[in-house]
Amino acid sequence: MNIFYRKLHEAFARIEQLQGKRVFGTYFRVGFYGTKFGDLNGEEFIYKEPTLTKLPEIFSRLEFLFQIVLTPIEVAIEDIEKKTMELAHATQQEPPDPKILQMVLQGCIGRA
């Protein structure tokens, strides 16, 4: 019960701080990148959240929503496949350009 009253007190304190000010929603730009997102790959959206929503809050909500879609090992596999494809493109040039190969290997440029 004590926790409830503490949260209620914090909420009223925030309202009091905003007295006389216009209160707008909080906006977040969220992008989805990677083949695991299917049709959402490469899409960006603007999320409107209630006022005083903080980044960690929306981050954890989206992370929970998409954790089944994308696990850390799948991200690593996707990165390795992309880097392998970039290297294959760089080595298919006749003759291979040593500078391009070096930049691809060092991660300076991406070629897809």
Residue 4 lies in a domain: no
pTM: 0.41
Splitting the chain (112 residues) into consecutive groups of 10 residues, what average pLDDT does each group show?
Answer: 85 77 78 82 88 85 77 77 83 82 71 48
78 and 34 in contact (C-beta within 8 Å)?
yes
CA torsion, points 62, 64, 68, 71, in degrees to nearest 10? 80
- Tell me the C-alpha distance between 60 and 99, whole Å: 42
Cis before 72 (ω within 30)? no
Is residue 13 situated within a structural domain?
A: no
- Determine what percent of the chain falls in helix, strand and coil, rounding each to the nearest 5: 55, 10, 30
- DSSP 8-state class, residue 20: T
Clarify whether residues 63 and 90 are in a common domain: no
66 lies in the same domain as 44: yes
Place of tokens 């969220």: 30
Both 65 and 32 in one domain: the answer is yes
> In this structure, is residue 5 part of a structural domain?
no
Q: How many structural domains does the chain have?
A: 2
Would you state the pLDDT for residue 112? 46
The pLDDT of residue 77: 82
Any domain includes 10: no
Half-sphere exposure of 66 (CA within 13 A, CB side): 19
Within a 10 A sphere around the Cβ of 104, how many other Cβ atoms? 20
State residue 23's pLDDT score: 65
Task: Determine the structural domain holding residue 105 and report its residue range.
Answer: 71-112
